[in-house]
Amino acid sequence: MLKPELRLLRPRLSSMALPLLLMASAACTSQTVRLVQPQSGATAECSASGFGIGAAWVEETLGGCARPYESRGYVRFDRLTAEQRADLERRGLLPK
């Protein structure tokens, strides 16, 4: 037999389950990663979007796209060092 505290808790949890499930399935995300090869100035872009449970898939997809570029010397724009950024700007390959 359930303890009185558990009997009170069970209806509250079940009434929260449906709204939480609906929120999780309605969530959506879209992300883009821009990469640049600091020596040549060549750029690449990876993007992915997903909704619901697939939103977690977006991160893995972006990583799978960006890793081969990073292994060839490309750097994500947000991870450029100050020196790399200044050099690319000086050469007109990156907007100031």
Q: Would you say residue 40 has pLDDT above 70?
A: yes
pTM (predicted TM-score):
0.65
Domain ranges of the chain: 28-90
Burial pattern 35-48, b for ≥16 Cβ within 10 A else e, equals bbbbeeeeebebeb
Q: Would you say residue 15 has pLDDT above 70?
A: no
Query: In terms of Cα–Cα distance, which of 17, 71, 74 is closest to 40?
Result: 74
Instruction: Please say whether the beta carbons of 48 and 31 come within 8 A.
Output: yes
Query: Residue 16 has what pLDDT?
Result: 64
Query: Residue 76 has what pLDDT?
Result: 95
Query: Residue 58 has what pLDDT?
Result: 80
Q: Would you say residue 75 has pLDDT above 90?
A: yes
pLDDT (average), residues 77-83: 95
